[in-house]
Amino acid sequence: MIWKPVTLINRTETGQDALGNSIYGESPGSQFPARFTPWDAQDIALEGREVTVNQRKLLIRIPRTEFPDCQKVQFEGEIYEVIQVTDLSPRFTLLYVKKY
């Protein structure tokens, strides 16, 4: 299994517009080793084939307690939106991601 770096994309407030609403920008954050994991037959049966075509599972080699809050990640040159974060203690965090 090849572990490749995943970059977390942080959402930061960059200012305010004329009405006082916050304007947000994205900036790269921490990097961790990660790899895609395959869907198994049970996942496909529960989620449906349409979901598994558009979404992926990304295994990150850090515990959930050390995983910072983020909405997007960049992996292998593509940006993915984080749908769900699952704790696989004590060493891993599993992200369900959707291509952005």
- Nearest Cα neighbor of 97 from 63, 57, 68, 61 is 57
pLDDT tens digits, residue range 26-82? 889 889 999 998 876 666 666 655 555 678 899 999 998 888 888 899 999 899 999
CA–CA separation, 84 vs 100, rounded Å?
14
pLDDT of residue 51: 55
pLDDT of residue 21: 92
Residues pairing with 96 in the sheet: 57, 84
pTM score of the predicted model: 0.78
Contacts of 51 (CB under 8 A, 6+ apart): none
pLDDT of residue 69: 84
Summarize the confidence of residues 83-99 as an average pLDDT. 90
Place of tokens 């952005």: 100
Q: Is the pLDDT of residue 88 over 80?
A: yes
Contacts of 29 (CB under 8 A, 6+ apart): 7, 8, 9, 10, 68, 70
Reported as a pLDDT band with limits 50, 70 and 90, residue 3 is very high
